[in-house]
Structure 1
């Protein structure tokens, strides 16, 4: 099943994607739909107003997650090329909902940063409350997957040992275009990122050190994960900051983030306009 959150003249709506149609489920967004204990059956049975899929205005697939938890340093090949040891535990940090934009929205380059970088990532969306999960329970808690780019202000990230300040600038993080349930998404997905048509990142999610199930199990030991919460699973090699010389996003850059079977986010970068 494929789900999305769309913008309409009456506000956002959760939809089930059927071929060339998008059928409303009766919920304001996918996050609200996922709070239904039997959300999958509810979505399958939905028969609300239908929209032409080709003309959808896509919001972030979950517009306001209660939590966005990101995993860093998580692709084995990337770790090896940096000369680091394979981590024993996930490196985790947070992002806030204000950072999210839709799959085709502009990415706003913060005026305060001169070093805005790309980070293509697989996003995991939680579909039921989960705490102290074993692998089987963690797998059952995953509602589906989506595409995310953890666009990062490197100069702010590296101001201190804590990364958050560079990771959550407003309107920087594409998230979408849709949520794809695990049975349809499959495993071992190809992930790519292009900037102005040039491929800058290419990897397969099978190379993740801590995959989706392991990440859910680990994080659920710390706190309860709730429906609609998002886990960004990390980025592979090819980021701009590691290049010689470094390369960053600029106004007019076209950032495209794709994952096989999940779709793509295509976003134009624009300058921040201060009032």
Structure 2
């Protein structure tokens, strides 16, 4: 199912997106409706039967994570294009909760950078508190998957040994448009366009380490909470975005996440 987080008349809730599953984007909303959830998707819930056209709500980030744990250099071709080797162990870093925005929300270009890159990524949404998860139980702790854009101030990343500012600035982590719970992440097409021009085109099968490998590695060190997000790396083709650009990340079986870049006020 597709689970969306939304706002209507000042109220925030979760709902299941119903309609033609071939409708891939949150822009094509005419035939889609939300069946509002009683409760929340991180426990037992039921559908209320109260249905609202998707066109009448504002889609929000599908979750508000306590933390976003991101993995760098998990596609060999992307590592190579930046002159890096594939690391022996996954490179993990954090993006703060304040970096998260939803579909259609603006990306505010940071004032301290002149070279921000897009990075299309598959995002894993954690469904239950977990630590030291064995590989055979990873599916039990995953709620589903969504699209992400790991926006990066590339010039700052090159000059600062820690990536906190380069990858953690406000609005640097668009997520959405919804969570797809019924999905095998092993081999999905992932693309990024800027103003309609194709920039990135890869498949999750190209990841050096699988979703299961990453969850095992991360939870050896820390507890993941319901709603936390794991970013799994980006394929080759990352490049600059500028004020006024529209960036769209699409993942097979999920949909399309679109955000426009604006000047930071």
Q: Same fold (TM over 0.5)?
A: yes
Q: Out of 258, 263, 268, which is 2:255 matched to?
A: 263
Residues 6 and 57 in structure 1, CA contact (< 8 A), matched pair in contact too = yes
- Distance in 2 (alpha carbons) for counterparts of 1:9 and 1:100: 22
Residues 185 and 262 in structure 1, CA contact (< 8 A), matched pair in contact too = no
Alpha carbon RMSD of aligned pairs, Å? Answer: 1.7
Matched, 1:46 2:47: yes
Aligned residue number for residue 245 of structure 1: none
From the two aligned structures, give the one with the greater helix fraction: 1
Aligned residue number for residue 237 of structure 1: 236
Aligned residue number for residue 244 of structure 1: none
Matched, 1:24 2:23: no
Q: Aligned runs of 1:141-156 on 2, under 5 Å?
A: 141-156=141-156
Q: Aligned runs of 1:126-275 on 2, under 5 Å?
A: 126-181=126-181, 183-185=182-184, 187-240=186-239, 248-273=240-265
SS in 1 for 2:138: helix
Which structure 2 segments of 5+ residues have no match? 20-31
SS in 2 for 1:265: strand
- Distance in 1 (alpha carbons) for counterparts of 2:83 and 2:104: 36
From the two aligned structures, give the one with the greater strand fraction: 2
Matched, 1:107 2:119: no
Please report the TM-score for the alignment, with normalisation by the length of structure 2.
Answer: 0.90
Aligned CA distance change for structure 1 residues 56 and 250 (closer, same or farther; 3 Å): same
Residues 16 and 23 in structure 1, CA contact (< 8 A), matched pair in contact too = yes
Please report the TM-score for the alignment, with normalisation by the length of structure 1.
Answer: 0.87
Aligned CA distance change for structure 1 residues 165 and 83 (closer, same or farther; 3 Å): closer
Residues 72-116 of structure 1, C-alpha deviations (whole Å, 9 max, x = no match): 000133335556543221100000111111111111111222111
Aligned residue number for residue 79 of structure 2: 79
Residues 148 and 173 in structure 1, CA contact (< 8 A), matched pair in contact too = yes
CA drift at 1:26: 2.9
Which structure 1 segments of 5+ residues have no match? 241-247
CA drift at 1:8: 1.4
